[in-house]
């Protein structure tokens, strides 16, 4: 086996290896690799620039949407409906012909105590349910923003 390798190594004509055609092919190969490398670099830089352009376009679109939202909000603040609501809330004014009802504090608090006892009875009914139904009810109450609490 060693003899075969030695014979093959000696049979190679080393003077042909550095022939002008071989050197020309090597130079051509190097030039092709350099051109390919510069093309890859150009594609990479174009990709980075395109990504930056896309990001800036998206930021511009978001800014336009925010501007249009502020314009709509400004238009709403100039409507009669907003002026009427703000006059009712901040100044306590009403429309002509409306009557104002004043509810005494003890009557209002009595109505609140009835609400709390009715919610307490619903909690007692829920605790009689099986655990999986209580779990489902708790999730429904959570998603519907109800403040009832159940105990296990």
Q: Which of 4-8, 20-24, 141-145 has the lowest mean pLDDT?
A: 4-8
Enter the pTM of the model.
Answer: 0.42
Token pair 């901040």 in the structure block, residue: 90
**pLDDT the model gives residue 34:** 95
Question: What DSSP designation does 151 have?
Answer: -
Q: What is the pLDDT of residue 97?
A: 81
Q: What is the mean pLDDT of residues 98-121?
A: 72
| Calpha distance 137→14 (Å, rounded) | 89
- Closest Cα partner for 113 from 103, 123, 105? 105
Which DSSP category does 42 fall into? H
Q: What is the mean pLDDT of residues 25-51?
A: 95
Alpha helices (runs of H) in 100-130, residue ranges in sequence order: 105-127
């Amino acid at each position: 086996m060693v003899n075969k390798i030695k014979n093959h190594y000696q049979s190679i004509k080393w003077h042909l290896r550095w022939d002008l055609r071989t050197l020309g092919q090597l130079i051509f190969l190097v030039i092709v690799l350099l051109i390919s490398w510069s093309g890859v670099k150009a594609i990479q830089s174009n990709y980075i620039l395109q990504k930056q352009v896309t990001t800036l376009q998206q930021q511009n679109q978001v800014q336009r949407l925010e501007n249009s939202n502020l314009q709509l909000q400004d238009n709403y603040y100039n409507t009669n409906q907003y002026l009427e609501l703000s006059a009712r809330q901040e100044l306590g004014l009403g429309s002509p012909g409306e009557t104002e009802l004043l509810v005494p504090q003890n009557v209002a608090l009595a109505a609140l105590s009835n609400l709390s006892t009715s919610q307490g009875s619903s909690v007692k009914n829920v605790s009689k349910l099986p655990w999986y139904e209580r779990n489902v009810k708790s999730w429904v109450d959570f998603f519907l923003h109800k403040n009832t609490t159940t105990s296990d």
